[in-house]
Amino acid sequence: MHLPGSRPAIGCLAALATCLATAPAPAADFYAGKTIDFVIGSDVGGGFDVYARVIARHLARFLPGSPTIVPKNQPGAGSGRAAALLYSVAPKDGSAIAAVFPGAVMGPLLDDRAQALYDPTKFQYLGSADSPTRLCITHGRSKVRSFEDALHQKTIMGASAAGGSTRDYVNMLKRSTGALFELVAGYKGSADILLAMERGEVDGLCGMDWSSLRTQRPAWIRDGTVNILVQTNLEPDAELTRRGVPQVWPFIAGDDDKKAAALIIGQQVFGRPYLAPPGIAAEPLALLRAGFAATLHDKEFRADAERTRIDIDPSSGERVQRLVEELYATPKTIVGRAKELVKP
């Protein structure tokens, strides 16, 4: 037995010190002094921007080294511009991530023109903040107050660029249900379309998330200034059902159209996706996925989300990765019909 301070003990301590000195830097230092560019594929003030910025306020606490998170808006092509930037230009060292519309993930499947820009199955998904229900709405002054009304009278609906849900969902519902929607495109995002509704330029819009409506126009809901025509989702939202808002499925007659619509609406399962570029190394990917999961379950973050009136129903990066791969394995006949439903 060796007493403390004896030469063998000192020798062991010296050897341990040598091992520690030569060991690689632990993950705790990975992001120390670094900056992460958080590219947001939407205009400022819309629902996706609100979600991403709330997450950005908290994410650094759950990444080793507490990096600086810098949100940067890169709107365009229904988040396709941001996705293409992340895919081909952004560094692959964990210093660039993105928030994109789910339509940007589905775009190359449903729109052949997007095929050459990026392959969504090769992104590394970090998670999703919500699985939202999407709506068709009209302003309170509109004569169209229900989806039944929209089947019988012209309804002018505002929309953003091709690939965005506000355009795709109008086209999908017009072709699958016979709704007399007339599309007016070219708005930057949902915030501008809501202003256009207030000015009387358009009757309403489709493809807006229920949580975004509650965030951006809570007074409309409180005062009855908005007509919620229909809820588009795979499973009904309990609150909307209590309000008497029907699901879309009774209005779609054909089985093939129902299957195609289910493929389009299936993207809502990852309604707020966050992703890293393809080729990112295993260590930063694992840290980012763990950081997103911890953020989305954190009490302080949840309290901030509640104050901001955004819903949080998270999915892990691994689950989103599997869902994207499954959607891209959909039979070609169903994909073909879905393409017809959303084409401009």
Give the closest residue to 312 by CA, choosing from 320, 303, 324: 303
The answer to whether 8 and 2 have CB atoms below 8 angstroms apart is yes
Regions of the chain with pLDDT less than 70: 1-26, 113-116, 162-163
> Can you read off the two tokens belonging to residue 85?
């930037």
Count helices and strands (H / E) in the chain.
15, 11
CA 163/CA 143 separation, integer angstroms: 28
The rounded Cα 323 to chain-centroid distance in angstroms is 14
Residues pairing with 98 in the sheet: 39, 275
Cα 237 from Cα 80, distance rounded (Å): 29
Six token digits for residue 3: 């007493």
* 123/102 Cα distance (integer angstroms): 13
**β-strand partners of 182:** 156
**Count of CB atoms within 10 A of residue 337's CB?**
18
- Return the structure tokens found at 91: 């560094």
Q: By C-alpha distance, which of 282, 284, 310 is closest to 296?
A: 310
How many whole angstroms separate alpha carbon 40 and alpha carbon 42? 6
Q: What share of the chain is helix, strand, coil (3-state, %, to 5)?
A: 50, 15, 35
pLDDT at residue 115 in the model = 53
The pLDDT assigned to 116 comes to 66
Note whether 333 and 257 are within 8 A (CB): no
Can you point out the beta strands (E) in the chain? 35-40, 68-73, 96-99, 124-128, 134-139, 155-158, 181-184, 204-209, 226-232, 273-276, 315-316
Beta bridge partners of 315: 128
Structure pTM?
A: 0.77
Single-letter amino acid, residue 13: L
Q: Which two tokens stand for residue 228?
A: 């919620």
Instruction: Quote the distance between the C-alpha of residue 65 and its chain's center.
Output: 26
Pairing of strands 273-276, 124-128: antiparallel
